[in-house]
Structure formats: structure tokens, C-alpha cells
Amino acid sequence: MPDGPSSPTRLGDLERVVMETLWAHERGTLTVRAVHNELAADRDIAYTTVLTVLDRLAKKGMVLRERVGRSWEYRAAASRAELTAASMRHTMEDVDSGDRRAALMHFLDGASTDEVADLRAALAEVERRANPDA
Amino acid sequence: MPDGPSSPTRLGDLERVVMETLWAHERGTLTVRAVHNELAADRDIAYTTVLTVLDRLAKKGMVLRERVGRSWEYRAAASRAELTAASMRHTMEDVDSGDRRAALMHFLDGASTDEVADLRAALAEVERRANPDA
DNA sequence: CGGACTAACTACGTTACGTAGTAGAAACTA
DNA sequence: TAGTTTCTACTACGTAACGTAGTTAGTCCG
């Protein structure tokens, strides 16, 4: 029973590579054949391996698929950014609120200037949305 | 070859429980016996299981230990907050800078008011440090 | 010395995952 | 229509991580 990307399933290396391929075509769908073609350019890999991986990803809810004729068209269930965000949030949520502050401090300590800038911008954006009149 | 908590090793369930126990005594060290006593209060678990888990955690660099007499005293190599932060940062780092903004936006979108407040506070604190004169 | 306690080593079952072969259905093609 | 191609579904096998714990062998205390 697929439960969607809300539960942060751990991905293996190949699974991640396949997700990358799907993400590279964010707005389209890909057949197994198409994914295999892309991967085969870089590595020696069997068609059925790609098939199996996509099937497993679908069962985990990481990818969505729909029938087109006799074959399936796959696409990522969540964008890379969404998945990253969900994973970060999940990580943060498993500390209680006392440690959360400390965790966030450490997080920012280790972040680069660019990352902090992006975060500040995102924070401002969220604020603007919450408070459009100010 | 232990490489410290810098490489975010995935923890199993029991491994995490053991880490929790160590974190609960943040400033002290615990023997295998002590950890086992705590765990045994809640579940049926063999002493040697705890021993094995602590040994594996030590090999991963997740815990540090030192000889005291014939036995070992264990403590967490990183606080829970540090580990959480490292994991979040690691997650964030595997998107390129283009997606990072988007990821952070999604992250904040899903965050609670309290979490956003904590983050804002942490950001201000980091800023204050970087710019003590302003 | 003998029991008690500790750590090292070994082991077994499960699950995830990389990897891929084979079977069978469907479609294309000569 | 029969052969070939192309998909999917099912099955399989090896490895690694991990939960779990027994066995073995020192060491210390009385």
C-alpha cells in the first residue's frame, strides 16, 4: 500500500539515480525505456533492472505512473525540492522542542553564507505571504 | 575506520534507542551495564545485544568510549541537536543551489509557527555573532 | 580457587536493494 | 499468420545492515 512521499523512505544509490533522471524531466513523464536509455549512456545496466527499480519506487510512492497503451509512464511523485524539504522537516521533527532551537543553531552554524542568505530570503517570503498588508 | 558523525550514518531503530539513552545522560558516560539496565526496564533485551549495538555504534563513530578498568564507558560523540543539524545540512546539500531556495521554501511552508520562530531566533543569533558591533 | 562480570567473536534471521533472467502477453512486420 | 520485438510481471540471487543473542575467554573479588 503506497503511502506517498510523506513518509521519508530511504533511497538506495540506484534508486536515487533513477529519481534524478525523472527530476531532470520535471514536467514530463518517462517510460522505462526512456529512463533506461539515459542510464545506459553512463553505465552498463539492464533494462529489467531499471524496470524493477521503477516498480519498487512506485510501490514506495516515490513515483507515480499511468498506463499508456500497454506500458507505463513514470514521473516523480514529488519534486526534488519537496522531497528535500520533507526530509529536513522529518529530521527536525524527531527532536523535541527543547533541542530544536539548539539543532537549528548548529544547522545555521554549519551553513554557508549562500545557504543562510537563501534561508533568510525564504523566511522573508513566507512572512510576506502570511502578512501581505504590512 | 571510524569517521565521526560528519558522515551521516543511518541508524537502525535499536541503535537510535541506545543513542537516546546516551543523550539522556548528555554530560556523563554510561557503561554497557547501565545502558542495558535502562533498556531492560522497558523491553526484554539481552546484555550482549546492547553490547553489540554499542560496539557497532562505536565503530561508526557515533559514540566514543574509553577504558575504565576492564570495561568501557560510552558517551554520544555528538549531541542530538548536532546530529540533527548535520543530517539536515547533509540533506540540504544534496540539492544544487538552484533547487535549494525552492527546497527551503517548501521546508518553511511545512514548518509550524513555533519552528519558524525558532528558526528566526537562530538566524538572528547567528547574525549577531557575525556582526557583534551593529 | 571459583563464581561473577566484562568484552570479543561468531552466528542467524530479516529486510532493503542492486542486479538481472525468464515467462507470457501484446504489438509490429514481413 | 508466423516470427520478432517489446513490454510487464514474477522470480531469484548476492551483499550489507541490523536486531538479536550465544559462546568463549579473560579478569576481579572474596
Domain for residue B101, yes or no?
Answer: yes
Residues B88 and B60 grouped into a single domain: no
Q: Domain for residue A5, yes or no? A: no
Lowest mean pLDDT among A126-130, B19-23, B102-106: A126-130
Q: Is the pLDDT of residue B124 over 60?
A: yes
Indicate if A61 and A88 belong to the same structural domain: no
Asked if the structure places residue B2 within a domain, the reply is no
Residues A72 and A21 in one domain: yes
Within-domain flag for B43: yes
Q: Does the beta-carbon distance from A106 to B10 stay under 8 Å? A: no
Residue B118: what pLDDT? 93
Q: Does the residue B5 lie in any domain? A: no
Residues A18 and A65 in one domain: yes
**Claim to verify: residue B89 and residue B61 sit in the same structural domain:** no
A70/A15 same-domain check: yes
User: What does the mean pLDDT of chain A come to?
Assistant: 90
B22 with B71, same domain?
yes
Same domain, A14 and A72: yes
Q: Which residue is nearest to nucleotide C19 (CA to C1')?
A: A49
Do residue B49 and residue B97 come from a single domain? Answer: no
Residue A4 lies in a domain: no
Kindly report the CATH number assigned to the domain that includes residue A40.
1.10.10.10
Distance from CA of B105 to the nearest CA of A (A): 5
DSSP string computed for chain A: ---GGGS-----HHHHHHHHHHHHTTTS-B-HHHHHHHHHHHS---HHHHHHHHHHHHHTTSEEEEEETTEEEEEESS-HHHHHHHHHHHHHHTS-HHHHHHHHHHHHHHS-HHHHHHHHHHHHHHHHHH-TT-
Among A76, A101, A117, the domain boundary falls at A76
The pLDDT of residue B57 is above 70: yes
Contacts of A118 in chain B (CB under 8 A): 97, 100-101, 104
Q: Confirm whether A3 is domain-assigned.
A: no
Question: Can you give the pLDDT at residue A8?
Answer: 66
The C1' atom of C8 and the CA atom of B25 lie apart, in whole Å, by 27
Q: Which of B87, B94, B103 sits opposite A85 (nearest CB)?
A: B103
By Cβ distance, the residue of A85, A99, A100 closest to B110 is A85
| Same domain membership, residue A67 and residue A20 | yes
Residues A88, A38 share a domain: no
Q: B32 and B53 share a domain?
A: yes
- Domain stop point among A76, A101, A122: A76
Counted domains in chain A: 2
Out of A81, A120, A126, closest to residue B103 by CB: A81
For the stretch B87-121, pLDDT in tens is 999 999 888 888 999 999 999 998 999 999 999 99
- Chain B interface with A: residues with Cβ < 8 Å: 10, 79-82, 84-89, 91-92, 94-95, 97, 99-111, 114-116, 118-123, 125-126
pLDDT of amino acid B90 = 92
Using the predicted structure, report yes or no on whether residue B125 has a pLDDT greater than 80.
yes
**Residue B34 belongs to domain spanning:** 10-76
ipTM: 0.86
Average pLDDT, chain B: 90
Taking the CA of residue A91 and the C1' sugar atom of nucleotide C19, their distance in angstroms comes to: 31
Q: Which nucleotides of C are covered by protein (CB under 7 A)?
A: 5-11, 16-22, 26-27
Chain B nearest-CA residue for A117: B101
